[in-house]
Amino acid sequence: MNSAIAIPRSELIPTREVAEQPLTLAIHDDGRLWASRAGHSLPVRIRRCFPWSAPDRYLSLHAEDNQEFALITDPSTLDAASRRVLQQALAEASFVFRINKVHAVEEDFELRCFHVETAQGPRAFQTALDAWPRETPEGGLLIEDVAGDVFRIEEPDALDERSRELVWELLD
């Protein structure tokens, strides 16, 4: 396991040589994702650059001071252990609720109230009446509630008939 090395800000901007060095990822005892490259190791946060257009590519690793440490354009270039760690970190950082079933959609004083079944269990959430769902490139729907939680209907056509009926006015 790499130990923490304080890296001056200027060194966080990778030179061409450094950028070509292999990147490894690990989850340390402190529970955080650490990235190592060219002898430097530091805790990073992971973000998908294109969470809906290209979710599996272009993954940006940022240090605590928000400087980008590395950009993974293709995870297949990582070693197997790093890829596993990457998937684990992504599951958390990119977590959104997946809606499997819609129980009810009601209007209540300027709010549209959803009662849904997610992969995590039942959930009630609300959106403003004019906060329309967003379509994802592959035809899914993203609904952001008033608190900012994101709910995803991956394939509206795959929902049961009653659910499709309930969200009918939100579908194309």
Partner 1 sequence: MSAVSRFDNQDIIERYTDQPARLPDAVRRALSSVDSELAAYALADLDDGLAFTRRWLVFSANNLVVFEEQADGVRQIACVARSRIRKVLLTTGLSCHVLRVYVAEQAAPLVEARFTQRQRRSMEGLSFLLEQAALGQPSEAADADRRYADSVAQPIRDAQALVSTRRLAVIWRLLSYLKPYKTRVIWGMLAATAVTVLALVPPFVTGRLIDRVIRPAQAGELPVSQAAKIAWLAVLGIATVHVVSKFCIWIRLRLLAVLGELVARDLRSELYAHLQKLSVSFYSRKKTGSLITRVSSDTDRLWEFLAFGVVEVTLSLVMLCALAGVLIYLDWRLGLVVAVPVPLLCLAIHWHGQTMNRLFVRAWRKWSRLTDVLSDTIPGVRVVKVFNQHAREERRFGERNDDALAEFTRIHASWTSFWPGLTLALELTIMGVWVLGLPRLLGTSTRFGPPLALGNFVSFLLYTTMFVQPVEIIGQMARIMHRATSSAHRVFEVLDTEPEVVDPVEPVSLPALRGEVEFERVSFAYDGVRQVIKSLSFRVEPGELIGLVGPSGGGKTTLINLLTRFYDVSAGRVLIDGVDVRALDSGQFREQVGVVLQEPYLFHGSILENIRYGSPDTDFDAVVASARVANAHDFICRLPHGYDTVVGERGHTLSGGERQRVSIARAVLKNPRILILDEATSSVDTETERKIQEAMDRLVAGRTVFAIAHRLSTLRKASRLLVIEDGKLVESGTHAQLLANPNGVYQKLFRLQQQLHDAA
What is the closest distance, in whole angstroms, from the C-beta atom of residue 120 to partner 1 in the complex?
Answer: 5
Encoding tokens for residue 103? 């129980």
What is the closest distance, in whole angstroms, from the C-beta atom of residue 38 to partner 1 in the complex?
Answer: 22
Of 13-21, 54-62, 67-75, 122-130: span binding partner 1 (CB under 8 A)? 122-130
> Nearest to residue 77, comparing CAs of 19, 123, 156, 119?
19
Q: Is 13 in the site for partner 1 (CB under 8 A)?
A: no
**According to CB under 8 A, which one of 53, 77, 87, 120 is a site residue for partner 1?**
120
Report long-range pairs for 85-93 (Cβ below 8 Å, ≥24 apart).
85/25, 85/26, 85/27, 85/33, 86/25, 86/46, 86/59, 88/27, 89/25, 89/27, 89/33, 89/46, 90/46, 90/48, 90/59, 93/45, 93/46, 93/47, 93/48
Of 17-25, 66-74, 79-87, 119-127: span binding partner 1 (CB under 8 A)? 119-127
With a CB cutoff of 8 Å and minimum separation 6, the contacts of 144 are 127, 131, 134, 150, 151
Q: Is 161 in the site for partner 1 (CB under 8 A)?
A: no
> Nearest to residue 70, comparing CAs of 33, 30, 36?
36
With a CB cutoff of 8 Å and minimum separation 6, the contacts of 28 are 1, 34, 43
Of 6-14, 15-23, 79-87, 145-153: span binding partner 1 (CB under 8 A)? 145-153
Q: Is 7 in the site for partner 1 (CB under 8 A)?
A: no
**According to CB under 8 A, which one of 41, 97, 153, 156 is a site residue for partner 1?**
97
In the window 24-53, what residues touch partner 1 (CB under 8 A)? 28-32, 45, 51
**According to CB under 8 A, which one of 16, 17, 76, 148 is a site residue for partner 1?**
148
Q: Which residues would be at the binding site for partner 1 (CB under 8 A)? A: 4, 28-32, 45, 51, 91-97, 107, 109-111, 113, 120-128, 130-132, 145-150, 168-170, 172
